[in-house]
Amino acid sequence: MLERFLRRLPDVQWVRPEQIHLTLHFFGATPAGDVDTIDKAMSCVAARFTPLTACLEQLGGFPDLTRPNVIWVGVRETTGELFSLQNVVREELSRLGFPVERRPFRAHVTLGRVKKRITDLGTIIGKPGFKFPTTAHTLDHFNLYQSHCLPDGARYEILRTYALSKT
């Protein structure tokens, strides 16, 4: 079903499957010297959380479905721990002086970026028979990535991995 959806939208630059991720915090340009500070803080954050289970569901678009620039799929986690994790990450980074997003956290993964205007994504995903396949996934770690902006899309390099390891 998802493959048929993707073929209906040829003017979207799709994220490669191995590059798909959920963003807890976006840093922007960050000096290399700050990586150790971030690393220490995120190691402490990860030690406060246990693995959690989440599902991918409900396609959406930013800024909305009528004129999307980005196509995404929502992440649902019913215990509230994902939002707690993101909040602790934000608070810790703010305490260290890093700028943080003030808009509410919307748990999602980006699937693609629209190259040519799609007039109404809602019409496409609202067609009878279209349903995003939901599958539960265990989230047992998070990564610190470095983004590389390339002509064919961003590539993400893992700099550090943090296991959710509260015992």
Residues that are catalytic: 21, 108
Residue with tokens 């550090």: 160
Strand pairing partners for 24?
A: none
Which residues are 53's β-sheet partners? 138
Give the span between the Cα atoms of 52 and 80, in whole angstroms: 10
Long-range contacts: 68-71, Cβ < 8 Å, 24+? 68/114, 68/118, 68/121, 69/113, 69/114, 70/110, 70/112, 70/113, 70/114, 71/9, 71/12, 71/110, 71/111, 71/112, 71/113, 71/114, 71/121
The Cα–Cα gap between 81 and 140 comes to: 12
CB 118 within 8 A of CB 10: no
